[in-house]
Structure 1
Amino acid sequence: MKLVVLGLSLSSSWGNGHATTYRALLKAFAARGHDILFLERDVPWYAGQRDLADPDYCRLAFYRDLDDLAGWAPEVARADAVIVGSYVPDGVAVGEWVQATATGTTGFYDIDTPVTLAKLARGDLEYLSPALIPGYDVYLSFTGGPTLRRIEAEYGSAAARALYCSVDPAAYQPTGEPKRWDLSYLGTYSPDRQPVLERLLIEPARRSPDRRFVVAGPQYPAEIDWPANVERIEHLPPSDHAAFYSASRWTLNVTRADMVAAGWSPSVRLFEAAACATPIVSDRWDGLAELLVPDREIVLAGNGEGGADDVLAALDRPDAAAIGLAGQARVLAQHTAAHRARELEDHLLEAARRAALVTAGRAR
C-alpha cells in the first residue's frame, strides 16, 4: 500500500504528542511492507526543535504553504490511501485539496477527538469543518466508545473507527535506572489539565515534603508555585522517556477535560509508561477500566478533593512493582504499535471495499 500522511509533525516532539504517535504507528505500518510519505508543514517552532530529521521507515518532506503543497499532487493522486491529521495548519483547506486530488481512500486521523468536536460545536473550524467529514472515507479517532456513533450520526461520517494511540516496545521498556522520583508527570502544560495536576501531584508534594516529585514538559507559566520537592524539566525528548519512567516509582496520568467528558480517550503517555513497567496512578474517566484493570494494572485517584489522599495512599502501596508489571503485560498484549498498524490496515482496506461497493452501485 502507498500511504501519504499529512500530519501536524513527525520531525519534532516539542510541545505535542502527535510526533511520538506517528513515529510508532508508521514505523510499525512500514514493517508490514507498506510505503509511506509524511508531509509536514514547515513551521519555525518545530523547525528549531527537530529531534527526527531522517526516519528510516518513511519519507519525510516539508512544504511551506498550500501553494507548495500542490507540488505533491502527483504523489497524493497515486496513493492507495491519504490521511490528514488533526491540528494540521490550514487543515480545512488541506482536507478540501486532498479530497479533490486523491483517487484512493481518504481518512481523517483525529488525535484530539473530544477537543475537535468541542471546537466544531462552537464553530471553530481551525483544522476541520463539518462539511469535510462526510468526504473522508473513514474517520480514525483517538476516542472510542459512544463518540464514534456520534461522529457518524451527527456529522455524517461514512465510518468512524477507533485508532487509539500505542507504544513502540523497542523504544519504551525498563532501562534499569535507579529510582529518583516517587511520582513523576510528563506532559505539556494545558490550562484544563493544570487543576488536576495541582490536586494529584502538587498538593501531595506539599503534604509529603520528604518525597521527590518531577514534572517534565514545556510551556508551564512562570507564576506556578512549585513546591521545593518538585523538580522541573522543561523538555524531555522521546529518546529519554523510557529512562524517565524507569526512574519513577510511580507516574501520574492526567487527562484533558474534554477527553474525560467523552471517555475512552487514552493518552499515549499511558501506554508508554506502562510499557516501562512503571506503575500508574490516573484520574478517572469512562472506558479506562476496559484498557487497564483498576487496582491490578493501574490505580485510580478520585476527581474530587480526596484525589490527593488517593495519590499518597498509592505511593505507600507495597504492590507497586506488581501493578507496574501487570500494566506492562496488558499493554504489550493489546496496545503496541504493531497492534495499531494492523488495525489501521484493516480500517483502510474496509474503507476501500466500501467505496468500491458504492461506486459499483452507482454504475448499475
Structure 2
Amino acid sequence: MRIAFYGSSLVSAYWNGAATYYRGLLRALADRGYAITFYEPDVYDRQKHRDIDPPDWCKVVVYEGTVEALKRVAAEAAKADIVVKASGVGFADDLLLQETMASAGPSTMKIFWDVDAPATLAELKAAPEHPLRRMLPSLDLVLTYGGGDPVVEDYRAIGARQCVPVYNAVDPQTHHPVPADPRFAADLAFLGNRLPDREARVEAFFVEPARRLWRRRFLLGGAGWHDKPLPPNVGYIGHVPTADHNAFNTTPSAVLNISRDSMAENGFSPATRVFEAAGAGACLITDAWEGIELFLTPGEEVLLARDGQDVVDLLAGLTPENASVIGERALRRVLAEHTYAHRASEVDRLFRNHARRVEAAE
C-alpha cells in the first residue's frame, strides 16, 4: 500500500522532536512492504540542519513554505492508499489538513497523526469551530504517540471515529550502546529543546539540583538555552545531532527525561528520549508520570523523580555499578517489547483491517 505522509521533517531533528519517531516507525512500515512518501516544508531552517540524507526506504519531498507549494504537494494525496497528516508540521497546518483530505480518494484511508495529543486536545476543547475538530468525524482514524485511555476518550468525545495510541519506541539500528565519548562526560545530562511548557520543569528537575550539587558536573543539550542563566557546573552544548544521541546517552552517569507540562499532567506519554536512552543502555531518571510502569519498571529499569529533591537524592545514591545494572535492564526490556517493529505491527494491523472493511463494503 502507498502512504502519503505529511509531517514536520524526516531528515532533520532541528526543532523537531518527532524526527526519530517518524524515522523508526516509517522504516519499520517500509520493511513490511509499504511504499512511503514523506512531504515536509522547508521552514525553521530544518533543511540547513539535516541529520540524515533521504533514506532508501522512503521518498522525501521537500516543498517551499508557501500556500502554492502546499497545495501542489497536497494534490499528491490522490495517488495514495493511505493519507496521513501529522500535527505540528509547522506551516499552515489547518490548510494542509483540509487540502490533503480533500485530495484523498473515496476509498483512501484518512488519518490524523497527533504527536502532541494533550496539547492538541486542550486547543480543540477551547475552540469548538477549530478546523481539525470539524473534520474529525470525516477521518477514518486518529493515531497519537501517547496519552493512553484519557486521550482516546477525549478524542472520541469530540468526534473522532477511532483513536489509537502508537507509542514511541526504539529503533535498534540507530539507537544502541556505544563507547563513551569525553565530550558528553557528566554526572547527569539532559537533552531537550527549550519550550515554554517545559522550562519551569527543567528549572525544577535539572537547574536547581545542579545549583545544589555544585561539585557535580551537569550537561545540557538542545536548542534555545543559550541565553538562560545556568550554574557554572552546567555545560551547555546546544543542538545535539541524532548521530551523537547514543554517545550523549551512554557517556554520563545518568540521563534525565523531563516531560512537557501537558504530557506530565495527562500521563501515558513516554517521550522519544525515554526509549533512546534505554536503547543505549543508559541509566535513566525520569520525572514521575502516570503510566511509566507500562514501559519500564520503576526502581529496576528506570529511576523516578517526583521533584528536584528526588533528583538530588537519586544522584547521591547512584554508583557506577547500579547505574550499569539499571541501564542493562532497560535495554533488555525495550528490545523485548518496545521497538518500532513492535509498533509497526500494531499499525499494520489497523491499516489492513480498514482495507478489509472497505473491500467488504464495496
For 1:355 and 1:269, how far apart are their aligned partners in 2?
Answer: 37
Aligned to 2:111: 107
1:121-200 superposed matches below 5 A: 121-123=125-127, 129-177=132-180, 180-200=185-205
Are residues 251 and 72 of structure 1, via their aligned partners in 2, closer, same or farther at CA, if it must alter by over 3 Å? same
Q: 1:124 to 1:330 in 2, by over 3 A?
A: farther
Instruction: Please state how far the C-alpha of 1:264 moved relative to its aligned partner.
Output: 0.5
* 2:235 match: secondary structure: strand
Contact 1:206 1:227 in 2 (8 A): yes
Q: TM (normalized to structure 2)?
A: 0.92
How far residue 207 of structure 1 moved from its aligned partner, in angstroms, is 2.1
Q: Give 2:23's aligned amino acid.
A: R
Q: For the Cα contact (< 8 Å) 2:137–2:160, is it kept in 1?
A: yes
Indicate if the aligned counterparts of 2:136 and 2:159 stay in contact, CA closer than 8 A.
Answer: yes
Task: Call closer, same or farther: CA 1:148–1:44 in 2, change over 3 Å.
Answer: closer
Alignment-mate amino acid for residue 209 of structure 1: W
Asked if 1:10 is matched to 2:15, the reply is no
Q: Contact between 1:200 and 1:311, CA under 8 Å: does it hold in 2?
A: no
Q: Which of 136-145 and 292-301 deviates more?
A: 136-145
Q: 1:214 & 1:286 partners in 2: Cα distance?
A: 27
Residue correspondence of structure 1 range 12-91 to structure 2 within 5 A = 12-64=12-64, 65-72=66-73, 75-88=76-89, 89-91=91-93
Aligned counterpart, 1:270:
274
The question of 1:226 aligning with 2:230 is answered yes
Aligned to 1:96: 98
CA offset at residue 272 of structure 1?
0.2
Alpha-carbon separation, structure 2, partners of 1:244 and 1:315: 18
Structure 2: 5+ residue stretches without partners:
none
For the residue of structure 2 that corresponds to 1:48, the secondary structure is helix
Q: Spell out, residue by residue over 1:226-270, the C-alpha distance to the aligned partner (whole angstroms, 9 max, x if none).
A: 111111111110011001111111000100110111110010000
Structure 1: stretches of 5+ with no match in the other structure: none
Q: Residues 73 and 119 (structure 1 numbering): CA distance in 2 closer, same or farther, change over 3 Å? A: closer
Whether 1:217 and 2:222 are equivalent positions in the alignment is yes
Equivalent AA in structure 2 for residue 13 of structure 1: A
Instruction: Using structure 1 for the length normalisation, give the TM-score.
Output: 0.91
Q: Which SS does the other structure have where 1:83 is aligned?
A: strand
| Percent of residue pairs identical | 35
Residue deviations 1:73-120 (CA, integer Å, cap 9, x gap): 664212111111001222222112222211211111111001111122
- Runs of 4+ in structure 1 displaced over 6 angstroms? none
1: CA distance, partners of 2:208 / 2:223 = 21
Give the residue type in structure 2 aligned to 1:20.
T
Q: Distance in 1 between matches of 2:226 and 2:129?
A: 27
How far apart, in 1, do the equivalents of 2:145 and 2:331 lie? 21
- Matches of 2:52 and 2:67, distance apart in 1: 23
Which digits, 9 at most, give the CA deviation of each residue in 1:276-297, with x for residues without a partner? 0101111111111111100011
CA–CA distance in 1 between the matches of 2:313 and 2:135?
Answer: 44
Q: In the alignment, residue 255 of structure 1 is paired with which amino acid?
A: S
Secondary structure at 1:123's aligned position in 2?
coil
Any conservation in 1 of the 2:282–2:324 contact (CA below 8 Å)? Answer: yes
SS class of match (1:319): helix
Matches of 1:153 and 1:208, distance apart in 2: 46
SS in 1 for 2:110: strand
Paired with 1:70 and 1:178, the residues of 2 have a C-alpha distance of: 45
Distance 1:148 1:207, change over 3 A: closer
Question: Partner amino acid for 2:329?
Answer: A
Q: Deviations over 1:324-356 (max 9, x none)?
A: 111111111111121122222122223334455
SS of the residue 2:142 aligns to: strand
| 1:351 corresponds to | 354
Alignment of 1:328-347 (within 5 A): 328-347=331-350
Contact 1:204 1:312 in 2 (8 A): no
* 1:150-208 CA distance string (max 9 Å, x none): 24432211110011112211111111215711111111012232222222222222222
| Pairs aligned (count) | 356
